[in-house]
Amino acid sequence: MNRKIIATLAATIFLLSACSDPTGEDTGTKTIVTSEKADTTTTTNNQLSDDYYKTMITNGNYQVSKTRGSTLGLNSNFNLKAFETGLMSLSQLHFNTEDYYFQEGQYIDSTTANTWLRRASKENPDGLNPEDNGKIEPNERNPYYLNSILEQDYMIKKDDKFTLGGISIGLSMNAIDYYQKVAFGADYETKISRDELLKQGKEMANKIVQRLRETQGIGDIPITVGIFEQSPKDSLAGGSFIAEAISEKGDTKVGEWKELNQEKVIFPLVDKTSNELTSFENFKSEVEYFFPNLSGVTAEASYTNDQLMKMKVTITTQFYGESEMIGFTQYVTEKAVTFLPPAIPIEITIESINGTEAFMARKAGETAFITHVFD
Amino acid sequence: MNRKIIATLAATIFLLSACSDPTGEDTGTKTIVTSEKADTTTTTNNQLSDDYYKTMITNGNYQVSKTRGSTLGLNSNFNLKAFETGLMSLSQLHFNTEDYYFQEGQYIDSTTANTWLRRASKENPDGLNPEDNGKIEPNERNPYYLNSILEQDYMIKKDDKFTLGGISIGLSMNAIDYYQKVAFGADYETKISRDELLKQGKEMANKIVQRLRETQGIGDIPITVGIFEQSPKDSLAGGSFIAEAISEKGDTKVGEWKELNQEKVIFPLVDKTSNELTSFENFKSEVEYFFPNLSGVTAEASYTNDQLMKMKVTITTQFYGESEMIGFTQYVTEKAVTFLPPAIPIEITIESINGTEAFMARKAGETAFITHVFD
């Protein structure tokens, strides 16, 4: 859909909505309805897939995060999505999607998060990033190691009441700390080694767990911490979680760290060859051969322990008409079945200047793709 | 996905691809392979749904329309998609998706189409739009009735050979003819009544059929013609086909016209009330109640003979993070099942400033939605 049209549409609707009661309730009976709802905590019945938790709904509203929007400060949208969904996946190691319900973080508020993210100083003793040492050269200054903190709450249901069952904390760490020597000046970069990043992240994890243990309402519930390494600003791949640990039984620090061998690479830009890259390149050639004009074809391949777990393909093409798009989608689906690695989940999006034109997806273990052409 | 990133991505890939053989074949054996392919006409095996035809592939390539891109001149993207997919749907009245294969129009080329679309004059006797009468006022001038011509070919397979089985012609007519009195001047509008639009379209249909009968390769195969009424430039709904007829057995004109009572309206902007509008408004209220911030919710409802056939819902919201989007999608799916009209096909798209964030679809007669959150 055309961007301009969306904008006009949004403006029109907001205008209309402002004149009407957003709850859709008859204003005359509003008080009664509201009081009826006062103690209602429900969840979405609809669980999208085994990979998603059911979501908590309190009084018909979604409880937004106390640090809402804070992940928008990550290096890229790819990092944001990898960070949030990655922490949900990590959480499944300890909190299963059957018994636990998802709620956005309600214990660390914005003020606290900002205090923790700033540099340590006399005025800000709780800052987790190191003191300013007065240097400005990339290899001399103390970088910001920690970029963002994400809290997720996992609730359990007992006798129709929900109580906190677990907390997951994600620490988004900078592999590159982008900074300016003067305000609005040129961008400089301090590179941070993975060893240093892990060392810093692990120390911060213990400090955060200790502070959370003193936070009202948390008590001795399990707290897991994941260390996320951001990908650079210009990367087409999102970052990955590289280590995780859990603090159980009210411990004021986490237990043993488990290193996670996860990696995301972009095909065909990756420089090491593999069977998957060859498969992808054959697919790409076939797709590009369909039209007289060229399409751009790339994929984000996610590896765990050097095994391909998931592939997300993006095809960028020119839009000449709906019939072409339908024919192209049929063709791409067919070539995906033939050439792309079997058994793993695959997502394919066809994009044009107008936005998303078509979309195909296959779940793990399936052979057929679900296909949709937007019209 | 971020627009800027797509652009960068596309540029990168085009650069890479320019250095490699786009067919993916080893250049050494190219001649042989090409000659092997010379007579190969295949089709996509993958038929997206019963509503789509299988597409013809000639020598591994998609045969683009001889007037490729001409539908881009319609009033809006909504009209473009409604025009192309609408003509495919009409074609199913005469050419079933089981026996017929889709091919883009190969008989009317760009030069011919342009000649036909221009005004009639001494220099352009074949022009289908009326002569310039020298007037410039909206109600005095002769408007352009015909905006665009679309040809679709329907092929049949016999002994592994494909032959032309039918042709569909779509005539996109202006209900409003937008024009300038002076080049690059202000926009003026000549309104055209539906009666006049139909009268003109029917006359043009016969002229086109007569000309096609004289075109080599067409002979006496059936030709269907559909008259499409464009929606205005600022409408959020696409136009509709309002009449159709067929010329069989080599007739030089079409047979009896069948009027099509099709209409597309936008909820909640429509001014007449209906059960469907009430259902939609309840759905909208529930969706808007989920978040403390407002979302824009609209739907395009397609009617045939005053019966609701299809609904396309667009939700525009702000993006604060992936977890919220997952929770929101779960919630929207649930409310769609509860509040939106049952049995009919429904498509729901959640859009943010980043593009399409999530997508839900249900086919006719099903109760469950297919759901996808883009990450």
CA distance B193 to B39: 50
Determine the residue type at B216. Q
CA distance A144 to chain B (A): 23
Using a CB-CB cut-off of 8 Å, the residues of chain A touching B81 are 322, 375
| Complex ipTM value | 0.78
A182-188: average pLDDT: 89
Which among B44, B327, B334 is the nearest to A62, CB-wise? B327
CA distance B83 to B74: 9
Say yes or no: A277 and A205 in one domain. Answer: no
Say yes or no: A299 and A193 in one domain. Answer: no
CA distance A121 to chain B (A): 30
Using a CB-CB cut-off of 8 Å, the residues of chain A touching B26 are none
> Which among A33-42, A48-57, A162-171 has the top mean pLDDT?
A162-171
Say yes or no: A322 and A298 in one domain. Answer: yes
Using a CB-CB cut-off of 8 Å, the residues of chain A touching B1 are 77, 314, 349, 351
> Collapsing DSSP states into helix, strand and coil, what is residue A358?
strand
Residue A16 — very low, low, confident or very high, per pLDDT cuts 50/70/90? very low
Say yes or no: B313 and B174 in one domain. Answer: no
In a domain, B6, yes or no: no
In a domain, B2, yes or no: no
Say yes or no: B249 and B325 in one domain. Answer: no
Using a CB-CB cut-off of 8 Å, the residues of chain B touching A61 are 289-292
Q: In this complex, do A285 and B24 lie within 8 Å of one another by their Cβ atoms?
A: yes
A360, closest residue in chain B (CA to CA)? B372
Burial class of residue B39, CB neighbours in 10 A (0-12, 13-18, 19+) = exposed
Q: In this complex, do A13 and B297 lie within 8 Å of one another by their Cβ atoms?
A: yes
Q: Are A169 and A223 in contact (CB under 8 A)?
A: yes
CA distance B273 to chain A (A): 16
CA distance B287 to A116: 35
The CATH number that applies at residue A43 is 3.10.570.10
Which among B322, B334, B375 is the nearest to A45, CB-wise? B334
Q: In this complex, do A57 and B331 lie within 8 Å of one another by their Cβ atoms?
A: yes
In a domain, A38, yes or no: yes
- What does the pLDDT read at residue B14? 31
Is it the case that residue A106 has pLDDT exceeding 50?
yes
Select from A178, A206, A176, A180 the least CA-distant residue to A193.
Answer: A176
- What does the pLDDT read at residue A161? 87
In a domain, A7, yes or no: no
- What does the pLDDT read at residue B50? 57
Say yes or no: B135 and B272 in one domain. Answer: no
Low-confidence residues of chain B, pLDDT below 70? 1-51, 292-294
Residue A45 contacts B where some CB pair is shorter than 8 Å? yes
In a domain, A178, yes or no: yes
Q: Give the structural domain span for B174.
A: 15-22+30-260
Q: In this complex, do B65 and A5 lie within 8 Å of one another by their Cβ atoms?
A: no
Using a CB-CB cut-off of 8 Å, the residues of chain B touching A44 are 327, 330-331, 334
Using a CB-CB cut-off of 8 Å, the residues of chain B touching A268 are 16
Percent of chain A with pLDDT over 90: 59
Say yes or no: A149 and A281 in one domain. Answer: no
Q: What letter does residue A262 receive in the DSSP assignment?
A: E
Around Cβ A42, how many Cβ atoms within 10 Å? 15
Where a domain ends, among B238, B260, B282? B260
Using a CB-CB cut-off of 8 Å, the residues of chain B touching A297 are 13
CA distance A366 to chain B (A): 15
Residue B185 contacts A where some CB pair is shorter than 8 Å? no
- What does the pLDDT read at residue A374? 86
**pTM of the full structure:** 0.78
A60, closest residue in chain B (CA to CA)? B290
Q: What letter does residue A130 receive in the DSSP assignment?
A: P
- What does the pLDDT read at residue B290? 81
C-alpha dist (Å) from residue A62 to A36, A57, B291, B292, B373: 18, 5, 6, 8, 17
Residue B102 contacts A where some CB pair is shorter than 8 Å? yes
B24, closest residue in chain A (CA to CA)? A285
Residue A352 contacts B where some CB pair is shorter than 8 Å? no
Which among B48, B152, B333 is the nearest to A373, CB-wise? B48
Q: Are B192 and B174 in contact (CB under 8 A)?
A: yes
Say yes or no: B133 and B255 in one domain. Answer: yes
C-alpha dist (Å) from residue B316 to A6, A75, A144: 8, 24, 35
Query: How many residues are given for chain A?
Result: 375
CA distance A335 to chain B (A): 10
CA distance A141 to chain B (A): 31
Say yes or no: A271 and A255 in one domain. Answer: no
Sequential DSSP letters for B3-50: HHHHHHHHHHHHHHHHTS-TT---GGGHHHHHHHHTT-EEE-S---ST
Where a domain ends, among B212, B242, B260? B260
Q: Which two tokens stand for residue B249?
A: 């057995």
Determine the residue type at B307. Q
The CATH number that applies at residue A288 is 3.30.300.190
How confident is the prediction for chain A on average, in pLDDT?
Answer: 84
CA distance A244 to chain B (A): 20
Which among A2, A285, A356 is the nearest to B23, CB-wise? A285
Instruction: Write out residues 280-319 of A within 8 Å (CB-CB) of B.
Output: 281-282, 284-286, 288-292, 294, 296-298, 314, 316
In a domain, A8, yes or no: no
- What does the pLDDT read at residue A254? 95
Using a CB-CB cut-off of 8 Å, the residues of chain A touching B71 are 321-322
Residue A159 — very low, low, confident or very high, per pLDDT cuts 50/70/90? confident
Torsion, Cα B107 B111 B117 B121, to 10 degrees, reads -130
A233-239: average pLDDT: 91
Say yes or no: A332 and A318 in one domain. Answer: yes
Say yes or no: A44 and A104 in one domain. Answer: yes
Which among B23, B65, B289 is the nearest to A23, CB-wise? B289
Mutation choice for A interface testing from B172, B267, B375 by most A CBs within 10 A? B375
Total domains in chain B come to 2
CA distance A188 to B92: 61
Sequential DSSP letters for B32-99: HHHHHHTT-EEE-S---STTS-EEEEETTEE---TTTTGGGGSS-HHHHHHHHHHHHHHHTTTS-TTT
> Collapsing DSSP states into helix, strand and coil, what is residue A268?
coil
Angle between helices B77-91 and A322-339 (to 10 degrees): 80
A224-253: average pLDDT: 94
CA distance A47 to chain B (A): 7
Say yes or no: A106 and A35 in one domain. Answer: yes
In a domain, B84, yes or no: yes
Burial class of residue B345, CB neighbours in 10 A (0-12, 13-18, 19+) = middle
In a domain, A3, yes or no: no
CA distance A101 to A103: 7
Q: In this complex, do B102 and A327 lie within 8 Å of one another by their Cβ atoms?
A: yes
Where a domain ends, among A226, A260, A294? A260
